[in-house]
Amino acid sequence: MSPSTLTLNNGHQIPWMGFGTGSALFGRDATKLVVQAIQSGVTHLDGAQIYNNEDSLGLAIKESGKPRAELFITTKLKPPSAGQTVDVKASLKESLRKLQLDHVDLYLIHSPYPANTEGKLQDIWKQMEEVHEAGLATSIGVSNFRVEDLQDILKIAKVIPAVNQVELHPYVWDTARQIVEFDKQHGIRTASYGGLTPIVRAPGGPLDPVLETIRKRLEETRGSPVSTGQALTKWLLHKDAVVITTTTKASRIKEFQDTENVPELDEKEIQAIDDAGSKKHHRAFMHVVFGETR
């Protein structure tokens, strides 16, 4: 059985599944759906300044009545425009005002770009360490960082990033593998977003028959229904990843949570997914960071 929480390098626990307020909720009032997620048992909420809905996330937290201590809240530093100076503390304080919180559990640099092309990543990380020191963020980390971006900040880091949240699924495993392995070597927890891309954004690919075969085996072993999404999410858990997902349906949230109870994949099945994924490359987000065209 998969663990309900995973341990970060500073000893803090992070729920393995997080409800994201980006993609489908980008720029939209997320109040109703976040309340629904919390009522469905979700305790990990993943927001970002660039999603333009932190105020509704904060309202949902308040309306849910869930004690703050029982929630894990993430937000992310908005990527600056080219040449723009970043004030991390002021930016986080503005987020905390919108969220109606005195701290977040995790604060991430949303993207290394364009700071990585301007030689500013190290300065931003030093500022991240300052908000951590000030108690405004229990844990700090990064998002969409490649190995070279991580290497840049690790040269000066006093605090190792707790998390690197990246697009992670079999159709980017060809490039993501080295990031996941580097994260693991340095005690950085990989978090995934866009994990169901092979099903929802790139159906009809080489992964489809492989996932269906595995889904059937899991269902037979379990003796109750298993979805293709659960089979794919199980693959992410085998990569020791935190899984961030977004849905408008309470039933889908329950299905994600139920992935914990789905039997484990065996080594051959994990390898079969890796191999099928390597036959197609499909990145849905952050093309500019990876130098890819859409």
Within a domain: residue 72? yes
Task: Give alpha helix (H) positions in the chain.
Answer: 31-39, 54-64, 88-99, 121-133, 147-154, 173-185, 197-200, 207-222, 228-238, 250-258, 267-277
Within a domain: residue 246? no
Q: Which of 178, 159, 177, 161 is nearest to 169 (CA)?
A: 177
Contact 198, 207 (CB under 8 A): yes
pLDDT per position as a tens digit, 145-160: 999 999 999 999 999 9
Interatomic CA distance for residues 221 and 240, integer angstroms: 23
Within a domain: residue 265? no
Given the DSSP bridges, would you call strands 17-20 and 137-143 parallel, antiparallel or unpaired?
unpaired
Q: Which of 51, 107, 171, 193 is catalytic?
A: 51
Contact 44, 21 (CB under 8 A): no
Binding residues for substrate: 110
pLDDT per position as a tens digit, 153-188: 999 999 999 999 999 999 999 999 999 999 999 999
Contact 9, 187 (CB under 8 A): yes
pTM score above 0.75:
yes
Q: How far is CA 237 from CA 80, 96, 226, 230, 243, in A?
A: 32, 30, 16, 10, 8
Q: For the chain, what is the mean pLDDT?
A: 95
Binding residues: 110
3-class SS of residue 248: coil
189 backbone dihedrals φ, ψ, rounded to 5°: -80, 125
Q: Model confidence at 1, in pLDDT bands (50, 70, 90)?
A: very low
pLDDT per position as a tens digit, 12-55: 999 999 999 987 766 778 899 999 999 999 999 999 999 999 99
Within a domain: residue 71? yes
pLDDT per position as a tens digit, 253-290: 999 999 999 999 999 999 999 999 999 999 999 999 99
Within a domain: residue 139? yes
Residue 51 designated active-site: yes
Looking at residue 226, its pLDDT comes to: 98
Interatomic CA distance for residues 151 and 162, integer angstroms: 14
Q: How many domains is the chain built from? A: 1
Arithmetic mean of pLDDT, 238-248: 94
Within a domain: residue 68? yes
Here the CATH number for the domain that contains residue 35 is 3.20.20.100
Looking at residue 3, its pLDDT comes to: 61
3-class SS of residue 250: helix
Within a domain: residue 85? yes
255 backbone dihedrals φ, ψ, rounded to 5°: -65, -45
Within a domain: residue 82? yes
Q: Model confidence at 109, in pLDDT bands (50, 70, 90)?
A: very high
Interatomic CA distance for residues 95 and 240, integer angstroms: 29
123: domain range?
Answer: 13-161
